[in-house]
Amino acid sequence: MRSSAPPSRVPDVLIVGGGLVGCACAFHLARAGVQVLLAEASSLNAGASGQTAGSLHFQIERRFLEDDGNGSGEIDRIVSLNRLAIEEWAGLENALSRDLDITMDGGLMLAENEADLALLQQKSAREAAAGLATRLLDAGEARAMLPGLSPTVRGAAFQPHEGHANPRILADAYADAARQLGATIRTGTRLDALSMTEARQYRATLVGPAGVETLVVPQIFVAAGAWTASIVGRLGLQLPLFPVPLSLNVTDKGGPELPYLVQHVGKRLSLKQSEAGNFLIGGGWASRFAFRADGSIDLDTPPLPVAESVSGNLQAAIDVMPALRHRSLVRSWTGITCISADQLPIAGMLPAAPGLFVAAGGSMFTMGPVIARLLAAQIMGRAEEADPIAPFTPARFAHLNAFAVLP
């Protein structure tokens, strides 16, 4: 028999998920005087935002260049949000009054053949037209900036604001600031049940160290990464979010060789050097899901490493910076993120469920701080302030819930 938790003040907003976006949204809501309760099933930052390598990548990725031939304007919308994200990251340490290991010294996106170089030229022109400061470098200019580049590099696009941050401390920094402003944050507290009342509010049952507590709240924000779709599914609603198992690698420490974030327009690669000197190598290489006895994906168990992914990822880095072949691999780790059906973030209120907000999908570390701030504005009814995330609304998938029946 489960014990009941002592009664507490009913929050204005229940946030489910204690990663970067959930903690950041709690901070912005609490700063505005909103009564917030954040419930995290495990520990803060235990999911994707704590497992990422921490890249701040503002250049357009290849997949969007290839998919934008229909004139949808996706690139312009992405660049617009990227520009806001740059401003957000630049002011974040002042906003939270602490050092967050943020480095924004610039990033290089490399090309090693003529076709990729042409794609870089197209990309840079689109970014410049949309107001993002990116310039194209020839091979000599790229190697002048980064002497360790391979002779195979034919050119690069340089974005002066890219970089990296420490993902191990950011969510906690937001959470600490939110607590100081009056937010309640509970770890080891899972959402056990969720339903909508006849008054179209949300009845949520939480199970944690203090026992079982059922709350009725007017608004709920689900920021639970790969678990987001299943949580929304408890209301009979659909979101096209799909879990993705990835792996990352870190080498031993070297001297200061890499002041920039390095990406590749044609290969899966992100490469950077931490303040301690280690090289962090990633870029979207797969790991392998663990499965439950019934054959379903086990989101609570770390994925298994895939040797071919580790070796392929390391080789991609060595191909563009040959000196890395002399470094030693210290650790590989895995994590689970999620992507949406169109590979864009899903951020906003579900039309079928007024008061239910979500944020998940691609680039949630780079875009997390600004999306959290804009979502907080939307939750508080400041629609005009939240307008930059309007293109990423769940409403674009409203047809999936055309037959949903809620009170």
| Cα 311 from Cα 251, distance rounded (Å) | 13
In 3-state terms, what secondary structure has residue 349? strand
Q: Is residue 60 assigned to a domain?
A: no
Q: Are residues 219 and 279 in the same domain?
A: no
Q: Are residues 256 and 328 in the same domain?
A: yes
pLDDT of residue 67: 59
E-assigned strand segments in 81-168: 107-111, 135-138, 155-159, 163-164
Q: Is residue 128 assigned to a domain?
A: yes
pLDDT of residue 68: 52
Query: Quick check: 3 pLDDT over 80?
Result: no
Q: Are residues 209 and 114 in the same domain?
A: no
Q: Are residues 183 and 329 in the same domain?
A: no
Q: Is residue 96 assigned to a domain?
A: no
Q: Are residues 45 and 180 in the same domain?
A: yes
Indicate left, alpha or beta for 325 from its phi (over 0: left) and psi (-120 to 50: alpha): alpha
Q: How far is CA 181 from CA 23, 121, 239, in A?
A: 12, 47, 32
Question: Pick from 339, 374, 392: which residue ends a domain?
Answer: 339
| Cα 143 from Cα 284, distance rounded (Å) | 25
Q: Is residue 299 assigned to a domain?
A: yes
Give me the chain's average pLDDT, please: 94
Q: Is residue 2 assigned to a domain?
A: no
Q: Are residues 263 and 365 in the same domain?
A: no
Q: Are residues 395 and 377 in the same domain?
A: yes
Per the structure block, which two tokens stand in for 130?
């949309």
Q: Are residues 365 and 305 in the same domain?
A: no
Helical ranges in 226-367 per DSSP H? 228-233, 307-320
The residue segments making up the domain with residue 148 are 106-161+242-339
In 3-state terms, what secondary structure has residue 234? coil
Q: Are residues 277 and 134 in the same domain?
A: yes
Q: Is residue 56 assigned to a domain?
A: no
Look at the block and give the residue holding tokens 């779709």.
229
CATH number of the domain where residue 39 is located:
3.50.50.60
Q: Is residue 135 assigned to a domain?
A: yes
Are 326 and 157 in contact by the 8 Å Cβ rule? The answer is no
Mind listing the pLDDT tens digit for each residue in 326-356? 999 999 999 999 999 998 999 999 999 999 9
Are 366 and 56 in contact by the 8 Å Cβ rule? The answer is yes
- Positive/negative CA dihedral, 13, 167, 342, 334: negative
Question: Pick from 318, 339, 360: which residue ends a domain?
Answer: 339
Look at the block and give the residue holding tokens 């470098």.
137
Query: Quick check: 1 pLDDT over 80?
Result: no
Give me the sheet containing 135-138, strands edge to edge: 135-138, 155-159, 107-111, 261-264, 270-273, 278-286, 241-253, 329-340
Q: Are residues 191 and 332 in the same domain?
A: no
pLDDT of residue 2: 53
Q: Is residue 78 assigned to a domain?
A: no
Q: How far is CA 149 from CA 57, 123, 152, 306, 323, in A?
A: 19, 21, 8, 27, 9
**For residue 293, how many other CB atoms are within 10 A of its CB?**
6
Would you say the pTM of this structure is higher than 0.85?
yes
- Which pLDDT band, with edges at 50, 70 and 90, does 166 fall under? very high
Q: Are residues 131 and 259 in the same domain?
A: yes
Mind listing the pLDDT tens digit for each residue in 81-118? 999 999 999 999 999 999 999 999 999 999 999 999 99
Q: Are residues 321 and 174 in the same domain?
A: no
CATH number of the domain where residue 320 is located:
3.30.9.10
Q: How many domains would you assign to the chain?
A: 2
Mind listing the pLDDT tens digit for each residue in 252-276? 999 999 999 999 999 999 999 999 9
**77 vs 12, which has greater pLDDT?**
12
